[in-house]
Amino acid sequence: MTRSHVLSFLCGGLAALALASATRLGAQSSSHVYELRTYSATPGKLDALEARFRDQTDKIFKRHNLNAIGYWVPQDNKNNLFIYIVEHKNKEDATKNWAAFQADPEWKKVRAESEAGGPLTTKPPESIYMNPVDFSRMK
């Protein structure tokens, strides 16, 4: 699966979420920025990575204003990818909020415990910051 396949998949998912989000939250400020994050899970550890996000990480995100709007795995997940999108007020807030998250003692404990048997990912996450275009429903 190529990067373009993953991005196409996510754009479709983002469009669907945009409609739901726009209905639920009203019009979004044009200053919002969206961050696409892709993790490459260590073979055999994708379920553990998903569980960590589901059971712990997402709750810690909320404490640090990291608004995850969705989590995905590709249908044909040959590369063990785990993907999510975070909504930020702006890139400066994103930087500040990620720093606070990384310094959070509970996060440090959760990460250490979940990786006691080895790392859950093979490399650092890939991150792409995205701005909605003028005709986007997420704007």
* pLDDT average, residue stretch 58-81: 97
Task: Residue 96: give the domain boundaries.
Answer: 31-130
Residue 68 lies in a domain: yes
Residue 22 lies in a domain: no
Residue 73 lies in a domain: yes
Percent of the chain with pLDDT over 70: 77
* pLDDT average, residue stretch 44-62: 97
Residue 91 lies in a domain: yes
- Non-local CB neighbours of 50 within 8 Å, separated by 6+ positions: 71, 73, 82
Handedness of CA 31, 25, 85, 100 (dihedral sign): positive
Residue 110 lies in a domain: yes
What pTM does this model have?
Answer: 0.78
Cβ atoms of 106 and 60 closer than 8 Å: yes
Residue 5 lies in a domain: no
Strand partners, 72: 83
CATH at residue 92: 3.30.70.100
Residue 7 lies in a domain: no
Mean pLDDT score of the chain, rounded to an integer? Answer: 86
What's the structural domain count of the chain? 1
Residue 67 lies in a domain: yes
